[in-house]
Structure 1
Amino acid sequence: MKVLFVCIENTCRSVMAETVFNSLAKSWKAESAGVEAGKEYDGKAVEILEKRGYRVNEGRPKSLKDVNLESYEVVIAVCGESACVNVPHRNVERWYVEDPKGKGVDEYLKTLSMIEDKVRELLRRLEDESS
């Protein structure tokens, strides 16, 4: 079963959520995409994840055009920007995580902590529903 995390460019928040989810999930798999694809993953986000012990998948940002939305059971929009709230899927959840891009390390850590909490909560719900 698959989850898709979506943000604006698939460079920071959605990558963080995908990475955390895949490191904690037992029977679910996550991927991520952006409304539009950025050029590369946010270096500071990758660094923060790796310092916390997460392994970031190699790759490049993808856009929603690069994925088949119907292959995901759940789509999580981790952004509140207007372009991000209109993801066309039957089961969309919105988290409204603030974008730390271009800010200090503390903002990235705050974002990662919020994502970790939300991912743990999501996994509890998904595992309860599937058992």
Structure 2
Amino acid sequence: MKELNMSKLKILFLCTGNSCRSQMAEGWAHALKSDVLEPYSAGIETHGLNPNAVKVMAEAGVDISGQKSENIKDLMHIDLDVVVTVCGHAHETCPVFPADARVVHVGFDDPPKLARELAEKGASEEDQLDAYRRVRDQIKTFVEQLPENLEENAS
């Protein structure tokens, strides 16, 4: 069993607050690619788990409610292979990682920000959740193509 873990790619999904996009990516990686990936997620800061992210992932059959918002400082002991920054701020402020961790940037829209903008325009709660669903589905598509698509997104 230990040999299997050693062959898995240790991948960290990094976002600003580790509340939404990086959590979705970790959830999809566990659900779809646990045979080849050992996924983690963290933030430059910790904002807690976004309830709407939990809700839309559950709609897609993936339970991320047990995941917790982690700070990147708490994961620095893990010998990562790849760090995927999923938002611009995390990419711009990404800390230096020890060893051979490669940093890849794949930006996704910020669902809470999109939902807030929609709410200001009077959109329904369902329309706001659609912003989360759209990003959830984009992240799923990205994760489905892991680890092959890491080469084309290398920075």
Displacement over 3 Å in runs of 4+ = 123-126
2:105 equivalent among 94, 104, 116: 94
Bigger radius of gyration among the two: 2
SS in 2 for 1:11: coil
- The answer for the alignment partner of 2:72 in structure 1 is 64
CA shift, 1:70, in A, is: 5.2
The answer to whether the Cα contact below 8 Å between 1:77 and 1:85 also exists between their aligned partners in 2 is: no
**Structure 1 stretches of 5 or more lacking a match?**
127-131
1:105 equivalent among 123, 129, 146: 129
Distance 1:70 1:63, change over 3 A: same
Superposition CA RMSD, Å: 1.8
**Structure 2 stretches of 5 or more lacking a match?**
1-7, 116-127, 151-155
Q: % of aligned pairs identical?
A: 29
Instruction: Give me the TM-score of the superposition, normalised by structure 2.
Output: 0.73
Does 2:91 align with 1:84? yes
Instruction: Give me the TM-score of the superposition, normalised by structure 1.
Output: 0.85
Higher relative contact order (CA 8 A, sep 6+): 1
